[in-house]
Chains A and B, each alone.
Chain A
């Protein structure tokens, strides 16, 4: 698999994204092409999972939009993913938090990770 890494090095995304994981609340700045115009759309939600590896890695973000759950899958290395902001880092025990889909109301909250001051 050594040679695969050589290829991935060549095609890496120019964007440097911060490290995030499932349970974090993030805002994805996604570039959208409309005809010849380009604009940036923000999608804010909770990361359900990160999947795949290398250039092909993707992540799933879930948010509630007027009472309906909306999930979007973004390729991490896509040139259209302009920026990823971490709004909250959540304290979850799992790498993939699919149970979060079934939770509504008060239970659909994720404890925020609190970093102790060194």
Chain B
């Protein structure tokens, strides 16, 4: 799949041609540089590696510097591999937001915002105890029973319980591209994408 690395800029809403208010996310997508072309002969599979956003040379270590030198480019901050990149690319090529078209559909991957230690209502959407009366006084958001009695007399592995929430890789499928602005490498998609402002995203079509 062809794709790009990007950065979440923020959300806004725009008015469609029919006058509807459409919520949308602004993503700075690319330009990305092809930093490595993987082949079956050498790597066992075919893929290309893209790099996004420059970093200072002093912040790159020597192996990194050598890697980027091969592609005759500057050190990059974020890298990602794409398998079956439908476009012909060579080492050092630049891929930009014009990869996507208006009204196309894209999938966006990112790391969701960390929520800390959360209970099961927020974490898994449990309904909690739906009644505040009838003897319930301190268990409105409790998970309820986590295992039966003497049979099975244990709690099954993978039982959904409270814990660290968010900060996980999330992929959102089929977001509509509202507009691309090639002059400033911007991609506007309908709906929301995972992560905070300024977090890195992978956009695939």
**Which A residues from 48 to 102 make CB contacts under 8 A with B?**
54-56, 75, 77-80
Knowing A10-B179, A80-B19, the reply to whether A3 touches B12 (Cβ < 8 A) is no
Contacts of A1 in B (CB 8 A): 10
Contact across chains for A11 and B15 when beta carbons are under 8 A apart:
yes
Interface string of B9-29 (1 = CB under 8 A from A): 110111100010100001010
CB-defined contacts of B10 to chain A, threshold 8 Å:
1, 4
Q: How many residues of A contact B (CB 8 A)?
A: 17
Secondary structure dominating the interface of B:
strand
* B184 contacts A55, C-beta separation under 8 Å: no
Contact status B12-A56, CB under 8 Å: yes
B186 within 8 A of A: yes
B184-A3 in contact (CB<8A): yes
Query: Chain B contacts of A7 at CB under 8 A?
Result: 12, 14, 26, 181, 186, 188
B21 touches A75 (CB 8 A): yes
Q: Which residues of B contact A (CB under 8 A)?
A: 9-10, 12-15, 19, 21, 26, 28, 179, 181, 184, 186, 188
B19 touches A11 (CB 8 A): no
Where the two chains meet, the residues of A that have a C-beta atom closer than 8 Å to any C-beta of B are 1, 3-4, 6-8, 10-11, 13, 54-56, 75, 77-80
Q: Would you call B181 and A10 a contact (CB within 8 A)? A: yes
State A7–B26 Cα separation when bound (angstroms): 8
A4-B12, A56-B12, A56-B13 as given contacts; A78 in contact with B21, CB under 8 Å: yes
* Contact across chains for B15 and A6 when beta carbons are under 8 A apart: no
18 contacts between A and B (CB under 8 A): A3-B28, A3-B184, A4-B12, A6-B186, A7-B14, A7-B181, A7-B186, A8-B12, A10-B179, A10-B181, A11-B14, A13-B15, A55-B12, A55-B14, A55-B15, A56-B13, A79-B19, A80-B19
